[in-house]
Amino acid sequence: MADLWQEAMDHAVAVARKAGEIVRHAVHNDMKVLCKSSSVDLVTKTDQKVEQLIIDSVKEKFPKHGFIGEESVAAGEPCVLSDNPTWIVDPVDGTTNFVHGYPFVAVCIGFAVNKTLEFGVVYSCIEDKMYTARRGKGAFCNGDPLQVSDQKEINQSIIATEFGSNRDPEVVDVIFSNMRKILCLPVHGIRGAGSAAINMCMVASGCVEAYYEIGIHCWDIAAAAVIVEEAGGVLMDFEGGPMDLMSRRIIAANNKTIAERIVNEIKAYPAIRDDAPL
């Protein structure tokens, strides 16, 4: 199967580049913004068009493979990770950035077999940075190898997180209380790119020590998860065990010491799973 997965990865890189070109050209053009679950959960025609392009192109080459795509799930498709080879697609990660022309927007394609992520492709298309990783073969940005930071002291670290799109005051309180705890450790700084995948690629690149978020989905993190691990980083659940892709929460860190330090500081609010029955 090894070569077949390489063929799949090469295809993912090619289609991500094509999709990224469409996204890049659509910034400031063709910007009809719609709302999904709330007025801050945005979607555009470009999100939908790009997801369709990726799925059509993959289906033509790998007709038996399964898909989980953000906009397909929004349209009623199931979000179930089976043992079947499955492509996990976020056509535009950072839609709010895209709508505002804030230049951190990524096309994300992850690929899992037997529920294990085998490769990930994150194309930060405005910056023209292609992040790629295949399990066991390292992580790269535009072909250059990536390595996480070796920092073990959280008070010498930058931590990334996001506000997400839940504006329920109780949820917002948890987000701020978590940020307050992290900030007061003290850390050097808190950052948020507005794209889960780009935050994770920053961890993989060694310029941010960790990223955590509650409320994300499997398509936000699947591709970048492989990139973080292959750059030497770790993925952890808020309770300290291994990250569960469908659990809607993640800590991605340069090492276990920093990840566990975050686990000790922050708490999660209940979030329904991606694969919860409808």
Q: How far is the CB of 253 from ligand IPD (least distance, A)?
A: 17
> Which residues contribute to the annotated binding site?
70, 90, 93, 220
Query: Is residue 216 a contact residue for ligand IPD (CB under 6 A)?
Result: yes
Query: Is residue 220 a contact residue for Ca ion (CB under 5 A)?
Result: yes
In the bound state with ligand IPD, the residue whose beta carbon lies nearer, of 162 and 229, is 162
**Only segment of 50-58, 61-69, 85-93, 251-259 that touches ligand IPD (CB under 6 A):** 85-93
**Only segment of 19-27, 92-100, 111-119, 139-147 that touches ligand IPD (CB under 6 A):** 92-100
> Which residues contribute to the annotated binding site for Mg(2+)?
70, 90, 93, 220
Query: Is residue 196 a contact residue for ligand IPD (CB under 6 A)?
Result: yes
- Rounded distance, CA 64 to CA 181, Å? 47
- Rounded distance, CA 242 to CA 176, Å? 25
- Answer for the pair 238, 265: CB distance below 8 angstroms, yes or no: no
For residue 259, give both structure tokens.
Answer: 């990840």
- Rounded distance, CA 171 to CA 214, Å? 10
Report DSSP letters for 185-237, one per residue: TT-SEEE--S-HHHHHHHHHHTSSSEEEEES--HHHHHHHHHHHHHTT-EEE-
Size of the site for Ca ion (CB under 5 A): 6
Q: How far is the CB of 263 from ligand IPD (least distance, A)?
A: 20
Interface pick for ligand IPD out of 20, 85, 120, 164 (rule CB under 6 A): 164
In the bound state with Ca ion, the residue whose beta carbon lies nearer, of 96 and 257, is 96
128: Cα separation from own chain's centroid: 17
In the bound state with ligand IPD, the residue whose beta carbon lies nearer, of 162 and 230, is 162
- Considering only residues 69 to 98 of the shown chain, the ones binding Ca ion according to CB under 5 A are 70, 90, 92-93, 95
Identify residue 218 by its one-letter amino acid code.
Answer: C
**Only segment of 22-30, 60-68, 138-146, 192-200 that touches ligand IPD (CB under 6 A):** 192-200
Query: Is residue 215 a contact residue for ligand IPD (CB under 6 A)?
Result: yes
- Considering only residues 45 to 74 of the shown chain, the ones binding Ca ion according to CB under 5 A are 70
**Only segment of 116-124, 182-190, 211-219, 222-230 that touches ligand IPD (CB under 6 A):** 211-219
Between 196-205 and 218-230, two packed helices, what is the crossing angle to 10 degrees? 10
232: left (phi over 0), alpha (psi -120 to 50) or beta: left
Maximum pairwise Cα distance, the chain:
52
- Answer for the pair 88, 72: CB distance below 8 angstroms, yes or no: no
249: part of which helix (H) or strand (E)? Answer: strand 249-253
Interacting residues toward Ca ion by CB under 5 A: 70, 90, 92-93, 95, 220
Contacting positions for ligand IPD (CB under 6 A): 70, 90, 92-95, 162, 164, 194-196, 213, 215-216, 220
